[in-house]
């Protein structure tokens, strides 16, 4: 005797749901798109589609790591602040620091330092959450506030503009705002995250820990290390997104990245990962990220007020979570 | 001893009557046209093997699940309800096998949940609620402070709270699904007192259980189900244990007896004067291939012993040695590395990952064996998991389905398979047959015996004395954290074990 | 199964949102009366609707473009977020507008995307603030440096009147640091004051052009600084915020408040001068009338080549100048 509602069929249906959502928004985009010269569909133009991917690139990259954090039963609210911190640090190192080394070396040192510090912030989050047993929401909220303060302090609360000439900062901007680079970075990280989650022991442990922490303890799983690693990944992802953000806006701005964590979490949730942990998929997260990007684009092409965009986003989140809940309440034997 | 007499059956409509109830789960037929009735003031047993449909029948009658077809009548009036709340309001209550209690709430709040009469008190003040709840706690035989957090109580106490919860409902029909599975002897006696008083009040009780001795002590009628069908309904005095079992299973089943190990050479686990906050100088020795039972009442320290051996509680003094040397308990993973494994008592809470698949649950503890540099070899994992599950005679549809979908007995087999895959040298089993049916129990006994024959040392904690006596080589009896004696199972009797468990002196170490 | 009804719910709601959100933004009687003329799209990317100066710009934009036949105006609000403004402009480019007017949020971030618009063949008017590279067809600016100098001279005159000599303590409230207006309004004033050693700038706080932020910063400053003669806020809302903070502490008579913008209307700086709250404000031209003028010529005259920069002038507003 078995309950098919909880069986393999049910999980396939659950996995398909964000995909259906994406298809629906795409169809909506095509239907509502303005027409260009010669009747072409503006929405489907290569330029527009690339725009969508690029505009979601930062959120998308962070969302990959956030998926791991959430699956293991945690949450990270500090990613927006870490993004601002990373962008500002890049500004400081590329513009205010004047070492006598070639621009390429300066850029490499900057990237290394920024990624390392982002990961370090994640490590602090993870250590305090797992050892002092602070709730992830509380700890990363504190980190969100603290890192933001640190960022404003270290820049004197001003932006650091990058140059447009041959200086290191200008070269950095060119490299890291290079569209194919951003998109391939996102794609490579997505594939890597998927493989880790689906095919490695580490990924299996994450799911088990998020599903039932007590049972994971009784199975001797390395709970602390696994959880901390997810926060380190999140910090590093936010740092990478910060580098891309700095390059695209040509400045390090300590006031950027506000509320990015909400967009990231929204993407993860719409993609079918439950905030309670234990299940989720990278494919779902990528789909969720794209749903948000396509939706924003569809509304903008129709010249809808940008405040309405926020309300539409809220609607999608509610619907996505509501559909998840119906799934979870299916009876089991 | 409590004698229970039969009620006067003639002249009044049944408290609950089912006609042609049917239920399918996907392609599986859980109930096939079942007719059944329950008289007021009777205790009616529902027996059957794994998958026979007794839990499904109970759940449908209590409103938790909806039938595909068929009719239910309460006191002769057709009833249909859309949820267990409505059923409760009509006076039908159920104590589930998997208790629907919440660790983070207090005892009083747990009892009040879903009870319309108590819900109001709940919002007025806690004192009022505690007062309303206290008599039920007393009746159920668990005199704890209603303000205690449920998470601080033990499993057997949880079951008594669940009984108190049903008592508070003032129900006319109560379904009890394996109510004594986690109870110790004296708690079982208290439950029977409760049942007797309910019976005297005219409450109808449906008693789903596998424990023949209990059924034949307190039940008036016995209904046997098999493969979703109602096979027979008999009066207790018209039948026998053997006949009931035969009807359940389709074949006669006998009791087992453990064969002692051939030539125990080495001690795989040596415990010398182990003390923690709750244990007082426990010492014992376990040989390879030996099965050592651990008996004792609630609070005797059996679970504490497990916690001590696996690093979950601080050892204040004493020494532990394994076959390959000294052992300082630090953590579960440390113990695993020394090939000492623990199969925990509560499989849902501590043992299995309900939404993960059967295969994933089975392979999780030994996962590193199928991975190279972290990369899992899916084919090898699937194959070894399947082999292990076959060895334990686990029934499952598809190894990719969530383990949630399996019955209690099969879930326990998955849990055992998980630990067996790690090829342990010493196995600590905490109540491994709790809440599973006769057929599955037999499988597990056979499994444990086979394991012992391969040279694995087994420590087996259980509340069911007969099972320990029949299946272990020696029995260790604990009382309030101290060792009272170690007896040879072949010679020991239940009375002697109970004497030691209640504090009598023995001639052990 | 039971889940299916939910699926159509989702796009149905979305479609409803789309329909609701799509209010025609510039359907004016003149434009529709023009009838046969094809609608040309003019996109105005505003950096932050929430500032009164910019709200006035938007209103003026709407009013002036309504008078031009055959034009549809779309106003976008980036809510002070450069990244948002960049992506809004990117999407606008896809709509192939006939003209793009941008009030950039910050210099460096917006440079590249405005260059992209130019590369797509769209004429770009950079409004009031500038960007790091000259990626526009024309820049219509007001002379912030001249305003700064006017402020500097006014303050010197006031201090002379109070103390008999040009000395005093000045507190400054700045807008967003990277913006041209901020740089030049402060630079112009400092250029004047550097010749007077007795004039001391005690502190400068950043208030992001916003009244509430200015009130908070001023409250902190009042706790730390004992005697203040002049508060020079780079726009009127910040000056107003500083006044409110001083009034709460009972110190508003101790100092004079100087702002910039000089907008009309009840909430504008001119009214504040009339009420005696601000000692002076300096009219900061919206630049919109020039933008519409040049923009119309760009749309209608194919061969028209506008200047690279157009500068609008400003003047002071005080109680005296209003009394007439």
Looking at residue B98, what DSSP letter applies? S
Cα distance between residue B338 and residue B325, in whole Å: 10
Q: Which residues contact A181 (CB under 8 A, 6 or more apart)?
A: A175
- Predicted local distance difference test score (pLDDT) of residue C31: 37
Contacts A–C by Cβ distance under 8 A: 131
Distance from the Cα of A121 to chain C's closest Cα (Å) equals: 24
Q: What's the pLDDT tens digit per position in C206-246?
A: 998 999 999 999 999 999 999 999 999 999 999 999 999 99
- Predicted local distance difference test score (pLDDT) of residue B352: 94
Picking from B367, B399, B403, B410 by the largest number of A CB atoms within 10 A of its own CB, the best residue to mutate is B367
Q: Binning pLDDT at 50, 70 and 90, where does residue B27 land?
A: low
Name the least confident of B196-205, B399-408, B437-446, C157-166.
B437-446
- Predicted local distance difference test score (pLDDT) of residue A4: 36
Mean pLDDT for B221-250 is 83
List of chain C residues whose C-beta atoms are within 8 Å of the C-beta of residue A303 = 22, 25, 74, 95
The values of phi and psi at residue A273, to 5°, are -85, 130
Mean pLDDT for A125-131 is 96
C324: which 2 tokens? Answer: 């007439």
B23: which 2 tokens? Answer: 């239920």
**Could you tell me if B492 and B313 are in contact, meaning their C-beta atoms sit under 8 angstroms apart?**
no
- Predicted local distance difference test score (pLDDT) of residue C181: 87
- Predicted local distance difference test score (pLDDT) of residue C324: 52
Is the pLDDT confidence value at C28 over 50? no
Instruction: Report DSSP letters for B250-286, one per residue.
Output: SS------PPPPS---SEEEEEEEEE-SS--SEEEEE
**Could you tell me if C82 and C110 are in contact, meaning their C-beta atoms sit under 8 angstroms apart?**
yes
**Could you tell me if B151 and B173 are in contact, meaning their C-beta atoms sit under 8 angstroms apart?**
no
Other CB atoms within a 10 A radius of the CB of residue B261 amount to 17
- Which residue's entry shows tokens 């504090």? B503
Q: Is B216 exposed, middle or buried, given 0-12, 13-18 or 19+ CB atoms closer than 10 A? A: middle
Other CB atoms within a 10 A radius of the CB of residue A53 amount to 17
Q: Is C222 exposed, middle or buried, given 0-12, 13-18 or 19+ CB atoms closer than 10 A? A: buried
Distance from the Cα of A213 to chain C's closest Cα (Å) equals: 31
Tell me the sheet residues that pair with B46: B208, B223
Looking at residue A33, what DSSP letter applies? P
- Predicted local distance difference test score (pLDDT) of residue C202: 94
List of chain A residues whose C-beta atoms are within 8 Å of the C-beta of residue C94 = 42, 45, 47-48, 51, 301
Is the pLDDT confidence value at B5 over 50? no
Q: Binning pLDDT at 50, 70 and 90, where does residue C34 land?
A: very low
C223: which 2 tokens? Answer: 């706790």
Is the pLDDT confidence value at B493 over 90? no
Cα distance between residue B461 and residue B294, in whole Å: 5
Counting Cα atoms < 13 Å in the Cβ hemisphere of B410 gives: 24
Q: Which of B330, B493, B350 is nearest to B430 (CA)?
A: B350
Is beta strand C40-46 parallel, antiparallel or unpaired with respect to B482-488? unpaired
Q: What's the pLDDT tens digit per position in C125-139?
A: 999 988 999 999 999
Is the pLDDT confidence value at A333 over 50? no
Q: What's the pLDDT tens digit per position in C89-110?
A: 999 999 999 999 999 998 889 9
Average pLDDT value for chain A: 89
C63: which 2 tokens? Answer: 């009013």
Cα distance between residue B336 and residue B422, in whole Å: 8
C323: which 2 tokens? Answer: 């009394």
List of chain A residues whose C-beta atoms are within 8 Å of the C-beta of residue C88 = 300, 306
Q: Is C160 exposed, middle or buried, given 0-12, 13-18 or 19+ CB atoms closer than 10 A? A: middle
pTM of the model: 0.73
Output A14 or A68, whichever has higher pLDDT. A68
A162: which 2 tokens? Answer: 């990058």
Q: Do chains A and B touch (3 or more CB pairs under 8 A)?
A: yes
From residue B150, alpha-carbon distances to A151, A215, B102, B160, C269 in Å are 45, 19, 7, 11, 65
Q: Do chains A and C touch (3 or more CB pairs under 8 A)?
A: yes
Q: Left, alpha or beta for A85 (phi > 0: left; psi -120 to 50: alpha)?
A: alpha
Output C91 or B263, whichever has higher pLDDT. C91
Other CB atoms within a 10 A radius of the CB of residue A97 amount to 12
C145: which 2 tokens? Answer: 């440096």
Q: What's the pLDDT tens digit per position in A289-322?
A: 999 999 999 988 888 888 888 898 898 888 888 8
Whether residue C303 lies within 8 A of chain A, CB to CB, comes out as no
- Predicted local distance difference test score (pLDDT) of residue C192: 94
Question: For residue B321, what is the enclosing H or E element?
Answer: strand B317-322
Cα distance between residue B310 and residue B181, in whole Å: 25
List of chain C residues whose C-beta atoms are within 8 Å of the C-beta of residue A34 = 95
Q: Which of C74, C72, C75 is nearest to C31 (CA)?
A: C72
Q: Which residues contact C131 (CB under 8 A, 6 or more apart)?
A: C104, C107, C108, C110, C111, C114
A333 contacts B406? CB cut-off 8 A: yes
Cα distance between residue A66 and residue C159, in whole Å: 58
Tell me the sheet residues that pair with B504: none
Mean pLDDT for B165-192 is 80
Q: Is A181 exposed, middle or buried, given 0-12, 13-18 or 19+ CB atoms closer than 10 A? A: middle
B402 contacts A6? CB cut-off 8 A: yes
Is the pLDDT confidence value at A138 over 90? yes
C228-243: string of b/e by CB count within 10 Å (b at 16+)? bbbbbbbbbbbbbbbb
∠ CA B60-B85-A274, nearest 5°, is 90
pLDDT over 90 percentage in chain B: 24
Cα distance between residue B231 and residue A60, in whole Å: 59
Distance from the Cα of A234 to chain C's closest Cα (Å) equals: 21
Q: What's the pLDDT tens digit per position in A272-288?
A: 898 888 889 999 999 99
Tell me if the domain spanning C144-283 has CATH number 3.40.190.10.
no
CATH ID of C8-142+286-312, from 3.30.70.330, 3.40.605.10, 3.40.50.2300, 3.30.460.10: 3.40.50.2300
- Predicted local distance difference test score (pLDDT) of residue A175: 92
Q: What's the pLDDT tens digit per position in B338-351?
A: 999 999 988 989 99
- Predicted local distance difference test score (pLDDT) of residue B156: 73
- Predicted local distance difference test score (pLDDT) of residue C24: 42
Cα distance between residue B173 and residue B91, in whole Å: 6
Q: What's the pLDDT tens digit per position in A80-103?
A: 999 999 999 999 999 988 888 898
Would you kindly state where each structural domain of chain A is located, as residue ranges? 53-257
Output B43 or B210, whichever has higher pLDDT. B43
Would you kindly state where each structural domain of chain C is located, as residue ranges? 8-142+286-312, 144-283
A164 contacts C111? CB cut-off 8 A: yes
Q: Which of C260, C265, C264 is nearest to C281 (CA)?
A: C260
Mean pLDDT for B87-111 is 81
Coil, strand, or helix at residue B336? helix
**Could you tell me if B115 and B168 are in contact, meaning their C-beta atoms sit under 8 angstroms apart?**
yes
Distance from the Cα of A241 to chain B's closest Cα (Å) equals: 27
Q: Binning pLDDT at 50, 70 and 90, where does residue B42 land?
A: very high
Cα distance between residue A28 and residue A25, in whole Å: 5
The values of phi and psi at residue C312, to 5°, are -100, 150
B353 contacts A278? CB cut-off 8 A: yes
Q: What's the pLDDT tens digit per position in C172-205?
A: 999 988 788 899 999 999 999 999 999 999 999 9
- Predicted local distance difference test score (pLDDT) of residue B170: 79
Coil, strand, or helix at residue C280? strand
- Predicted local distance difference test score (pLDDT) of residue B437: 78
Q: Which of A199, A240, A202 is nearest to A223 (CA)?
A: A202
Looking at residue A163, what DSSP letter applies? P
Other CB atoms within a 10 A radius of the CB of residue B311 amount to 16
Ordered strands of the B267-275 beta sheet: B282-287, B267-275, B317-322, B325-326
Mean pLDDT for B318-333 is 88
- Predicted local distance difference test score (pLDDT) of residue A7: 45
Query: Positive or negative CA dihedral for C211, C212, C217, C223?
Result: positive
Tell me the sheet residues that pair with B319: B272
C170: which 2 tokens? Answer: 């000045």
Output B407 or B260, whichever has higher pLDDT. B407
The values of phi and psi at residue B268, to 5°, are -90, -20
Q: Which ranges constitute the DSSP H helices of chain C?
A: 6-21, 29-33, 52-66, 82-94, 107-119, 144-163, 180-193, 211-224, 236-248, 269-274, 288-300, 319-323
**Could you tell me if B438 and B256 are in contact, meaning their C-beta atoms sit under 8 angstroms apart?**
no
């Amino acid at each position: 005797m078995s309950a098919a509602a909880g069986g393999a069929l049910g999980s396939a249906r659950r996995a398909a749901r964000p995909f259906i959502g994406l298809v629906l928004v795409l169809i909506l985009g095509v239907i509502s798109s303005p027409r260009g010269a010669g009747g072409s569909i503006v929405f489907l133009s290569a330029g527009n589609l690339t725009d969508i991917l690029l505009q979601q690139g930062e959120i998308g990259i962070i969302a990959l790591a956030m998926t791991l954090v959430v699956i293991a039963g945690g949450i990270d609210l500090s990613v927006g602040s870490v993004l601002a911190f990373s962008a500002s640090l890049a500004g400081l190192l590329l513009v205010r620091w004047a070492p006598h080394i070639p621009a390429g070396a300066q850029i490499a040192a900057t990237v290394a330092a920024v990624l390392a510090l982002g990961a370090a912030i994640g490590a602090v989050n993870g250590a305090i959450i797992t050892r002092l047993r602070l709730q992830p929401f509380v700890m990363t909220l504190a980190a969100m506030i603290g890192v933001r303060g640190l960022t404003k302090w270290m820049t004197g609360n001003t932006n650091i503009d990058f140059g447009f000439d041959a200086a290191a900062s200008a070269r950095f901007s060119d490299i890291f705002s290079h569209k194919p680079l951003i998109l391939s970075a996102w794609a490579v990280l997505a594939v890597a995250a998927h493989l880790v989650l689906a095919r490695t022991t580490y990924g299996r442990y994450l799911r088990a820990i998020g599903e039932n922490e007590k049972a994971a303890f009784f199975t001797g799983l390395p709970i602390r290390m696994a959880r901390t690693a997810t926060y380190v990944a999140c910090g590093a992802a936010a740092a990478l997104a910060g580098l891309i953000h700095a390059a695209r806006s040509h400045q390090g701005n300590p006031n950027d990245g506000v509320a990015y964590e909400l967009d990231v979490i929204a993407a993860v949730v719409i993609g079918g990962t439950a905030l309670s942990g234990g299940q989720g998929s990278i494919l779902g997260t990528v789909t969720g990220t794209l749903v948000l990007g396509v939706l924003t684009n569809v509304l903008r092409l129709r010249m809808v007020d940008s405040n309405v965009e926020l309300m539409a986003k809220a609607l999608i989140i509610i619907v996505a979570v509501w559909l998840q809940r119906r799934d979870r309440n299916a009876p089991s034997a | 001893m409590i004698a229970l007499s039969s009620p006067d059956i003639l002249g009044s409509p049944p408290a609950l009557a089912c006609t042609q109830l049917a239920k399918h789960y996907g392609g599986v037929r859980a109930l096939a046209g079942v007719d059944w009735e329950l008289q007021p003031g009777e205790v009616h047993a529902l027996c059957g093997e794994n998958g026979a449909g007794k839990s499904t029948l109970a759940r449908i009658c209590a409103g938790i699940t909806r039938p595909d077809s068929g009719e239910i009548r309460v006191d002769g009036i057709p009833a249909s309800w859309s949820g267990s709340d409505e059923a409760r309001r009509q006076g039908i209550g159920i104590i589930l096998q998997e208790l629907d209690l919440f660790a983070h709430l207090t005892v009083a709040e747990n009892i009040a949940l879903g009870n319309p009469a108590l819900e109001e008190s709940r919002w007025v003040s806690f004192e009022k609620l505690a007062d309303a709840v206290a008599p039920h706690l007393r009746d159920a035989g668990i005199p704890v402070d209603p303000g205690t957090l449920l998470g601080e109580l033990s499993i057997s106490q949880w079951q008594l709270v669940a009984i108190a919860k049903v008592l508070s409902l003032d129900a006319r029909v109560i379904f009890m699904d394996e109510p004594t599975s986690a109870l110790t002897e004296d708690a079982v006696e208290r439950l029977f007192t409760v049942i007797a008083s309910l019976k005297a009040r005219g409450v109808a009780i449906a008693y789903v259980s596998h424990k023949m001795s209990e059924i034949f002590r307190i039940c008036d009628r016995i209904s046997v189900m098999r493969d979703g069908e109602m096979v027979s309904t008999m009066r207790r005095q018209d039948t026998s244990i053997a006949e009931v079992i035969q009807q359940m299973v389709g074949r006669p089943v006998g009791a087992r007896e453990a064969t002692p190990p051939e030539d125990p050479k080495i001690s795989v686990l040596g415990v010398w004067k182990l003390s923690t906050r709750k244990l007082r100088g426990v010492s014992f020795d376990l040989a390879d291939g030996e099965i050592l039972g651990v008996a004792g009442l609630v609070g005797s320290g059996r679970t504490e012993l497990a916690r001590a051996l696996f690093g979950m509680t601080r050892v204040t003094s004493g020494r532990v040695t394994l076959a390959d040397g000294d052992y300082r308990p630090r953590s579960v993973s440390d113990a695993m590395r020394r090939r000492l494994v623990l199969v925990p008592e509560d499989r849902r809470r501590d043992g299995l990952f309900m939404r993960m698949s059967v295969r994933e649950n089975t392979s999780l503890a030994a996962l590193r064996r199928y991975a190279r540099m972290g990369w899992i070899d899916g084919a090898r994992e699937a194959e070894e998991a399947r082999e292990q599950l076959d060895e334990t005679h686990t029934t499952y549809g598809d190894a990719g389905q969530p383990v949630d979908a399996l019955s209690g007995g099969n879930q326990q087999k998955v849990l055992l398979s998980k630990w067996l895959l790690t090829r342990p040298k010493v196995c600590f089993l905490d109540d491994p047959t709790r809440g599973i049916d006769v057929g599955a129990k037999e499988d597990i006994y056979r499994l444990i015996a086979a394991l012992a024959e391969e040279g694995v040392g087994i420590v087996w904690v259980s509340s069911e004395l007969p099972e320990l006596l029949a299946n272990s080589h020696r029995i260790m009896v604990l009382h309030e954290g101290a060792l009272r004696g170690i007896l040879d199972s072949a010679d020991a009797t239940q009375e002697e074990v109970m004497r030691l468990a209640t504090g009598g002196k023995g001639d052990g170490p | 199964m039971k889940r299916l009804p939910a699926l159509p719910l989702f796009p149905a709601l979305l479609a409803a949102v789309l329909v609701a959100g799509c209010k025609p933004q510039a359907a004016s009687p003149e434009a529709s009366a023009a009838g046969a003329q094809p609608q040309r799209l003019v996109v105005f990317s505003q950096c932050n609707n929430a500032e009164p100066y910019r709200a006035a710009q938007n209103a003026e934009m709407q009013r002036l473009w309504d008078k031009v036949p055959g034009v549809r105006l779309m106003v976008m609000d980036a809510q002070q977020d450069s990244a948002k403004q960049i992506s809004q402009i990117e999407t606008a480019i896809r709509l192939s507008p006939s003209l793009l007017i941008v009030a950039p949020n910050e210099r460096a971030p917006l440079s590249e995307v405005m260059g992209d618009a130019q590369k797509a063949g769209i004429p770009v008017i950079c409004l009031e603030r500038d960007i790091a590279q000259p990626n526009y067809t024309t820049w219509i600016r007001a002379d912030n440096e001249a305003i700064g100098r006017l402020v500097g001279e006014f303050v010197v005159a006031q201090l002379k009147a109070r103390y008999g000599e040009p000395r005093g303590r000045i507190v400054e409230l700045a807008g967003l640091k990277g913006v041209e207006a901020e740089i030049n309004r402060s630079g112009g004033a400092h250029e004047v004051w550097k010749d007077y050693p007795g004039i001391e700038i005690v502190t400068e706080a950043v208030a992001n052009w916003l009244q509430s932020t200015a009130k908070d910063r001023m409250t902190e400053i009042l706790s730390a600084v004992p005697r203040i003669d002049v508060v020079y806020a780079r726009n009127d809302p910040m000056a107003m915020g500083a006044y409110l903070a001083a009034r709460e502490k009972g110190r508003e008579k101790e100092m004079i408040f100087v702002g910039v913008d000089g907008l009309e209307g009840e909430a504008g700086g001119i009214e504040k001068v009339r009420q005696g709250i601000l000692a002076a404000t300096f009219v900061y031209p919206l630049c919109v009338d020039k933008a519409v003028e040049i923009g119309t010529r760009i749309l209608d005259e194919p061969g028209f080549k506008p200047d690279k920069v157009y500068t609008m002038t400003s003047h002071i507003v005080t109680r005296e100048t209003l009394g007439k």
